[in-house]
Amino acid sequence: MPRKKKKSKKVPRKKKKSKKIAVFIIITLALAGALYYYFKIRPVDYTNLSQQIDAVVNEELVKLGVTPKDLIKIYREEKKKDNVLWVSVTKEVRVSREINMEDYQKSLADSLKQIRAELYEVELSDKGDLLSMKIGKRSLVMQNLLLRYPLAKYRVSIVIDDLGQRKDLVKNFLRLDIPLNFAILPQLPYSTLLARELKNSGYETILHLPMEPEGYPQTDPGSGALFVSMGSSQIESTILKDLKTVPGVSGVSNHEGSRFTANREKMKEALSVLKREGLFFFDSNTSRHSVGEEVARELGIPALSNQVFLDTKDEYKAICRQLEKLRRRVLKSGTGIAIGHVQRKFTSDALAEYIPKFKEDGIEFVSLSELLK
């Protein structure tokens, strides 16, 4: 007897449709996962760009004359954030003071554009002796670059005395283009004008305060002078009046004053006024008996003393000999201070000849305030 064929069960259409949807969802999720891995999880490697940036930086440094001995420090570190890989380089380099930091920054920025990299957070220090830059792409910092001028081992400060009577003489010193200190006499035709112009031009100015010399009255120290016969209130009022005619000064030096600066009591009265006004004292050292710097330090006032008079003889060769004396002193002790006079005929010319020699020896010209630091 023949077997009966079993009837195949029919799958409902709804179930077939559900299976297809489930398969579609699974495939979609798998594709989404793959795409997520590809775009989000799969590493994005910027190592090659990091190397390119480093090569560009090095090429620009070579143009500046930088050698391996100028490398202060270098540090490399492999970095990873989420799926991004790169190399971070920190590099600090010493460059010549002849290099213009801002020019280098512009040149480097142009070279980086060619590899589609850029500068971030560029900062030049207030003194202009340190340039820091962050370099990278898409906010990823791939190089921290610091350029700095070398610290000066030797420093010298030049004070030009006796300004105020004429305006034209100072131009001979301004052309030297170094940080000079100008000592301005009070109550003269151009005292106030020169004080303001020089201060606005970035030069340090001090009041060149006239004081009684040993040769008085045959030798007249000039207007606004202090005398040992004055009481403390008269000394104070005279100094304050002088300061009004020479505004914006950082300190005070003595003009002549060999008798006054040797008098401890009178110097204490005068220097107490400077202390209240927040000014330093620079002793011109017109007398070996001067107690100016000593008393100033006793009162807690920043103080310095002159070491070399450059132009006691207004002769070119004589001034050059004094500059050579100053140069040797600086190379021996590390610092030096000298006084020249604005009215001397050959002082600015002799300085112009000797400035390159000082710089070749690594001697930096600074203000008195900088030397006090």
Q: For the domain that residue 97 is a member of, what is the CATH number?
A: 3.30.460
User: Is residue 238's pLDDT more than 90?
Assistant: yes
357: in domain: yes
Mark whether 95 and 209 lie in a shared domain.
no
Q: In this predicted model, what pLDDT tens digit does every residue of 279-297 receive, in sequence order? A: 999 999 999 999 999 999 9
Q: How many domains does the chain have?
A: 2
Residue 153: its pLDDT value, please?
76
Q: Do 126 and 205 belong to one domain? A: no
Q: What 3 state SS string does 188-233 have?
A: CCCHHHHHHHHHHCCCEEEEEEEECCCCCCCCCCCCCCECCCCCHH
- On whether both 325 and 177 belong to a single domain, the answer is yes
In this predicted structure, what is the pLDDT of residue 245? 97
**What CATH number does the domain containing 213 carry?**
3.20.20.370
Does residue 326 fall inside a structural domain? yes
pLDDT of residue 29: 66
Parent domain of 196: 154-372
Q: Are 232 and 329 part of one and the same domain?
A: yes
Pairwise CA distance, residues 324 & 354, whole Å: 8
Q: What is the pLDDT of residues 297-338, one digit of tens each?
A: 999 999 999 999 999 999 999 999 999 999 999 988 889 999
Say whether pTM exceeds 0.95.
no
Dmax (CA) for the chain in angstroms is 160
Q: For 24-28, 36-40, 96-100, 213-217, which range has the lowest pLDDT when averaged over its residues?
A: 36-40
14 located within any domain: no
Whole-number pLDDT of residue 137? 85
The owner of tokens 């540090």 is: 75
H/E run at residue 272: helix 264-277
Q: Is the pLDDT of residue 44 over 70?
A: yes
Same domain? For 243 and 294 the reply is yes
Out of 114, 132, 148, pick the residue that ends a domain. 148
pLDDT for residue 4 is more than 60: no
Task: Report the distance separating Cα 81 and Cα 44, nearest Å.
Answer: 10
Q: What is the pLDDT of residues 120-178, one digit of tens each?
A: 889 988 777 889 999 998 778 999 999 988 766 789 999 999 999 999 999 999 999 89
Q: What angle do CA 335, 341, 342 make, to 5 degrees?
A: 120
Is residue 58 assigned to a domain?
Answer: yes
Residue that is last in its domain, among 110, 130, 148: 148
Together in a domain, 213 and 330: yes
Q: Decide if 13 is inside a domain.
A: no
- Percent of the chain topping pLDDT 70: 89
Residues 213 and 314 in one domain: yes
| 138 and 167 in a common domain | no
Q: Per-residue pLDDT tens for 86-116?
A: 888 999 998 887 788 888 889 999 999 999 8
Sign of CA dihedral 157, 162, 168, 172: negative
Among 148, 175, 204, the domain boundary falls at 148
What pLDDT is recorded for position 272? 97
